[in-house]
Chain A
Amino acid sequence: MTLSYLLRRIGYGLLLMLGVVILNFFLIRLAPGDPAVVIAGEMGGATEEMLESIREEYGLNKPIFTQLWIYVSGIATGNLGESFFFNQPVSKLIGLRIWPTILLVITAQILSISIGVFMGVIAARKPNGILSGIVSIFATIGYAVPVFWTGIMLIILFASVIPIFPVEGMQSVKLRDAGFVVKTLDIAHHLVLPAFTLAIIYLAQYARLSRASMLEVLGSDYIRTARAKGASEVSVLFKHALRNAALPILTVAGLQFGNLISGALLVETVFNWPGMGRLAFDSILRRDYPTILGVLFFASAMVVVANIITDISYRWADPRLRRKS
């Protein structure tokens, strides 16, 4: 891994983020009405004083490029503006909410990739077997189920029929002051249903994808070579074949990350998970634009980071890409 590649990749990521900031800036101006009113929030009932201070802070009386400059440089210094509804800086609001979202999204990603790929690999051993059939039916169903509805169905199931998992929130109120281990276990317990709800759709897609990818790889000459060396079936599947089949899986994992965050938005709303999605939902209902745009900014940043990680792992997985350019 060359450092210059990494730096170039990060530089491009920052450029994309600059694009997001500029987009945010113009979104506010595209909204019908006085931007100061928009920023203050239509439901905020802003006073004329507040509006005046907003105009002052955002330089709304200055030329548009000066306004853009004020906005961009503000964000560069970590100032995402003030939420007039929550009466807090947006960066602080999001700072509290971003970790639950990251926890949820990463857990779901790990669950869906590991279980999905495992199913796909096993299914690929028998392309016409029962598991292969189940995988492809399950993948089509998983694709078609609205994620929020899956969540609701699971809540109905686990709230009344088999009450073994909590269906709401991230922590039990009575365990707020418990020790670290108990608290961690409590969060993990709360995480089960939201993470699975989110994972299910992608799990099915990874299973289908890795099955197809494995089928292609298993026909290669080097798989025969591995067998001719005396490698065991497990080693052939999970070492020799999967390392090669992983490339398209990684590509999709990178592309899906944005969708995963979109899904998390709905899942957080359903399970009252205190993350950015929940925050976005609340702030949209209140027309709290600084917060909404802050969430959009951070969610995009997460996608950018995920893309950089994908690119790096792609190079790790395929040595042929490493020493080019």
Chain B
Amino acid sequence: MNDTPEFKPESPGLEAWRMFRRNIPAVFGLVLLIVIFLATLYGALIYNGDPFDIVWAPHEMPGATPEFPLGTDYLGRDIIAGLLTGGGPTLAVGAAAAALTMFIGISLGALAGYYGGWVDNLLMRFTEFFQVLPALLFAMVLVTLFSPSLWTIAFAIGVVSWPQTARLTRAEFLKIKELEYVTAARAIGARNKRIIWKVILPNAAPPLIVSATLTIGVAILFEAGLSFLGLGDPNVMSWGLMIGANREFILEAWWPVTFPGLAIFLTVFAVSLVGDGLNDAFNPKLRQR
């Protein structure tokens, strides 16, 4: 509050950004995430070539050949090329799956929380049903049934991940719909649709934004898991696929599995640092604990 001019309340977003900026781990996460994003975006251009191409002898140690600083895999494919081109699909699937998760989760949660009664009952039973299905297994089944492509993978991850978002949204709606400004909106004759999307949802946004961020992390891990199992799109290089493909040879060569794993870890780590930072920024009181 040091340099805030008086009598001019800040927008909540700006205030959150001010809090976020002071949070060193969160800023670190954000920077890391931007670096990873740019690396996957431009890296593919710098290393133009097919990551599936066999370019050298298999299992070249990292650092042994200056051309391939991270070495080659069991077939002699360049690991750096795989890392740079494999990140894009992983991030894209993660983002698309998270978007679908949020879309399904927010829609169902909002309806359940806002209307209550039998709508709530029905939707919550439906949600509980989906929580009974082990997510990864269900996603594996869906991907297998509908032949793997980036779209089906994103779709499968979205279909199995939404229940938590739905529950969170419902809880927020239950809380907010009792507040005065919602009653006020109703009193001036606003319709349900307007109250849900224009009045309640913006006020439920902070926890949902945090949840969306963390959902991206989970979706990336999911995509990596599926690709690792060989259920990813076989024509697209991805970090999970690199680990899965080289799994048989880990005792001969550690590097082809270690670097893609580190890449996944750093990406999800960065995402969750940002998520935690957003959480702290939106709830400054919680952080003082």
Task: Give bound CA distance, A299 to B225, whole Å.
Answer: 18
Q: List, in ascending order, chain B residues with CB within 8 A of A262's CB.
A: 134-137, 225
Q: Is A261 an interface residue (CB 8 A)?
A: yes
Q: List, in ascending order, chain B residues with CB within 8 A of A304's CB.
A: 132
Q: Is A199 an interface residue (CB 8 A)?
A: no
Q: Report B134-157 CB contacts with A as 1/0, cut-off 8 Å.
A: 111110111011100000000000
Known interface pairs A152-B243, A292-B140; 16 further A-B residue pairs with C-beta atoms within 8 A, sorted by A's residue number: A19-B129, A145-B268, A146-B228, A146-B265, A148-B228, A149-B264, A156-B251, A212-B289, A266-B136, A284-B229, A285-B230, A296-B134, A299-B134, A299-B137, A300-B133, A304-B132
The secondary-structure label for the interface of chain A is: helix
Contact of B141 with A148 in the complex, beta carbons under 8 Å: no
Q: List, in ascending order, chain B residues with CB within 8 A of A32's CB.
A: 146
Question: Interface residues of A, CB < 8 Å — how many?
Answer: 50
Q: List, in ascending order, chain A residues with CB within 8 A of B145's CB.
A: 27, 30-31
Task: Give bound CA distance, A299 to B140, whole Å.
Answer: 13
Contact of B132 with A156 in the complex, beta carbons under 8 Å: no
Task: Give bound CA distance, A253 to B136, whole Å.
Answer: 18
Task: Give bound CA distance, A32 to B240, whole Å.
Answer: 27
The interface-forming segment of B110-118, B171-179, B269-277 is B269-277
If the complex has contacts A16-B129, A156-B250, are A281 and B229 also in contact, measured as CB distance less than 8 A? yes
Q: Report A165-204 CB contacts with B as 1/0, cut-off 8 Å.
A: 0000000000000000000000000000000000000000
**A–B Cβ pairs within 8 angstroms, 7 of them:** A19-B129, A27-B145, A31-B145, A156-B250, A258-B134, A281-B229, A300-B132
Q: Is A155 an interface residue (CB 8 A)?
A: yes
Q: Report A148-166 CB contacts with B as 1/0, cut-off 8 Å.
A: 1100110110011000000
The interface-forming segment of A69-77, A84-92, A136-144 is A136-144
Q: Is B247 an interface residue (CB 8 A)?
A: yes
Which of B144, B224, B251 lies in contact with A284, CB distance below 8 A? B144
Task: Give bound CA distance, A293 to B137, whole Å.
Answer: 10
Task: Give bound CA distance, A30 to B144, whole Å.
Answer: 12
3 interchain residue pairs of minimum CB distance: A262-B136, A149-B261, A144-B268
If the complex has contacts A148-B243, A266-B228, A269-B229, are A143 and B136 also in contact, measured as CB distance less than 8 A? no
Contact of B136 with A307 in the complex, beta carbons under 8 Å: no
Which of A147, A160, A259, A285 lies in contact with B135, CB distance below 8 A? A259
If the complex has contacts A27-B145, A155-B250, A258-B132, are A280 and B272 also in contact, measured as CB distance less than 8 A? no
Q: Report A258-282 CB contacts with B as 1/0, cut-off 8 Å.
A: 1101110110011000000000110
Task: Give bound CA distance, A31 to B134, whole Å.
Answer: 20
If the complex has contacts A153-B258, A285-B230, are A144 and B272 also in contact, measured as CB distance less than 8 A? yes
Q: Is A40 an interface residue (CB 8 A)?
A: no
Contact of A144 with B261 in the complex, beta carbons under 8 Å: no
Tell me the smallest distance from the CB of B224 to a CB of chain A, in Å.
5
Q: Is A255 an interface residue (CB 8 A)?
A: yes
| CB nearest to B143 among chain A residues | A284
Which of A152, A160, A258 lies in contact with B261, CB distance below 8 A? A152
Which of A27, A140, A144 lies in contact with B141, CB distance below 8 A? A27
Q: Is B217 an interface residue (CB 8 A)?
A: yes
Q: List, in ascending order, chain A residues with CB within 8 A of B240's CB.
A: 146
Which of A144, A146, A295 lies in contact with B137, CB distance below 8 A? A295
Q: Is A215 an interface residue (CB 8 A)?
A: yes
Task: Give bound CA distance, A265 to B226, whole Å.
Answer: 11
| CB nearest to A288 among chain B residues | B144
Which of A144, A147, A152, A303 lies in contact with B257, CB distance below 8 A? A152
Tell me the smallest distance from the CB of B86 to a CB of chain A, in Å.
13
Q: List, in ascending order, chain A residues with CB within 8 A of B269's CB.
A: 140-141, 144
Which of B136, B221, B261 lies in contact with A153, CB distance below 8 A? B261
Q: Is A287 an interface residue (CB 8 A)?
A: yes
Contact of A287 with B144 in the complex, beta carbons under 8 Å: yes
Q: List, in ascending order, chain B residues with CB within 8 A of A287's CB.
A: 144
| CB nearest to A150 among chain B residues | B261
Q: Is A45 an interface residue (CB 8 A)?
A: no
Tell me the smallest distance from the CB of A287 to a CB of chain B, in Å.
7
CB neighbors of A among B252-289 (8 A): 254, 257-258, 261, 264-266, 268-269, 271-273, 276, 289
Q: Is A20 an interface residue (CB 8 A)?
A: yes
Task: Give bound CA distance, A296 to B221, whole Å.
Answer: 20
If the complex has contacts A140-B273, A146-B224, A269-B229, are A296 and B141 also in contact, measured as CB distance less than 8 A? yes
Q: List, in ascending order, chain A residues with CB within 8 A of B129's CB.
A: 16, 19-20
If the complex has contacts A16-B129, A160-B251, are A146 and B225 also in contact, measured as CB distance less than 8 A? yes
Q: List, in ascending order, chain A residues with CB within 8 A of B144's CB.
A: 284, 287, 292
| CB nearest to B25 among chain A residues | A140
Q: List, in ascending order, chain A residues with CB within 8 A of B250's CB.
A: 152, 155-156
Q: Is A95 an interface residue (CB 8 A)?
A: no
